[in-house]
Amino acid sequence: MHDEILTIFGLKHNPFARRIPTDALWRPPGCEAFFFRIESIVLDGGFVLLSGEPGLGKSKILQLLAERLLNIGGEVVVGVMERPQSSVSDFYRELGDLFGVNLTPSNRYGGFKALRERWRHHIQSTMLRPVLLIDEAQEMAAHCFTELRLLSSARFDSESLLTTILCGDVRLPDRFRAKHLAPLGSRIRTRWMLEPWERNVLRDFLENALDACGAPHLMTDGLKDALVEHSAGNLRILCSMGDELLHTGAQRKVKQLDEQLFMEHYDRPRSRRKGA
């Protein structure tokens, strides 16, 4: 069905799928300024915070950031933590795997020293700090946050050995208000708190998504306005509705998705309730 949809509408890819090419990703307002700030932080290390409600595009911003950092001259090492909810032992195991250090969980101090030596060697050879990206960081255990703060700090806290980007929902900044995590919260060098997007921004996202998939005329202007109006400022909601309409349009073999299709598709449950 996926390939059939692409063929029916002449798409390079589904513009509303979760997995699309990195070069097709939308760059939201404020993105370039945020990336520029992180590129300067990579020189000295430290913590960065990206947060917001679910569905605003935080993970896609991290994907763009990872791609950008890998293209910086000097061979920046970028590690992406995939299991933030780990215990401290597993946390060290994953760090060792990400940065090429063979760690023994029973010897945590040895792992502590080995990771710091690996980071110092990278700094000496590139003049840049290694980067650790942690998505869904609100799930991290408090002990892991503390380990990460102490692990990346050197010379009586006058030097950072790592650049860490913490990304999570609105619970994440709240966690750093607790006394036991306030020391890390006070070390966050820059923050980007995403808010629900305004209508003109959502319209720009939609236009970019359709252009990137090679089908700028896939939707009528009326349908674009309807999707933006009903998405509550949330990219995930907008994409879910767009994907549903794409499948419905493919089943009906229409040439273009329009507002009539939108009304018919989303009015059916209401009509059934009335009929019942």
pLDDT per position as a tens digit, 155-191: 998 999 999 999 999 999 999 999 999 999 999 999 9
DSSP character for 94?
H
Between CA 196 and CA 59 the distance in angstroms is 15
Higher pLDDT, 84 or 8: 84
CA dist., res. 244 & res. 232, Å (int): 17
- How many Cβ atoms from other residues are within 10 Å of residue 232's Cβ? 12
pLDDT classification of 107: cutoffs 50, 70, 90: confident
Nearest of 141, 149, 166 to residue 62 by alpha carbon:
166
pLDDT above 60 (res 275): no
Assigned CATH class of 29-193: alpha beta
Distance CA 186, CA 167 (A): 16
The CA-CA-CA angle for residues 272, 275, 276, to 5°, reads 85
- pLDDT confidence bin for 2, thresholds 50/70/90: low
User: Which residue, 74, 47, 46, 48, is CA-closest to 61?
Assistant: 48
Give the SS3 label for residue 10. Answer: coil
| Domain topology for 2-19+197-267 | Helicase, Ruva Protein; domain 3 (1.10.8)
Reference 9, options 201, 188, 247; nearest CA is 247
> CB–CB of 14/246 below 8 Å?
yes
Residue 17 to residue 8: CA distance in whole angstroms: 16
Distance, CA of 217 to CA of 231 (rounded, Å): 20
Mean pLDDT of 76-94: 92
> CB-hemisphere CA count at 13 Å for 99?
28
Residues 43-49, mean pLDDT to the nearest whole number: 95
Q: Which residue has the higher pLDDT, 161 or 106?
A: 161
- How high is the pLDDT of residue 274? 45
104 band by pLDDT with thresholds 50, 70 and 90: confident
pLDDT band at 268 (very low <50, low <70, confident <90, very high): low
**Model pLDDT, residue 72:** 75
Residue 100 burial by Cβ neighbours in a 10 Å radius (0-12, 13-18, 19+):
exposed
The pLDDT score that the predictor gives to residue 222 is 96
d(C-alpha 84, C-alpha 144), whole Å: 9
Q: pLDDT by residue (tens digit) across 12-34?
A: 999 999 989 999 999 999 999 99
Domain segments of the chain: what residues?
2-19+197-267, 29-193
pLDDT tier at 4, thresholds 50, 70, 90 = confident
Q: What angle do the packed helices 88-98 and 108-126 form, to 10 degrees?
A: 30
pLDDT, mean of residues 227-233: 96
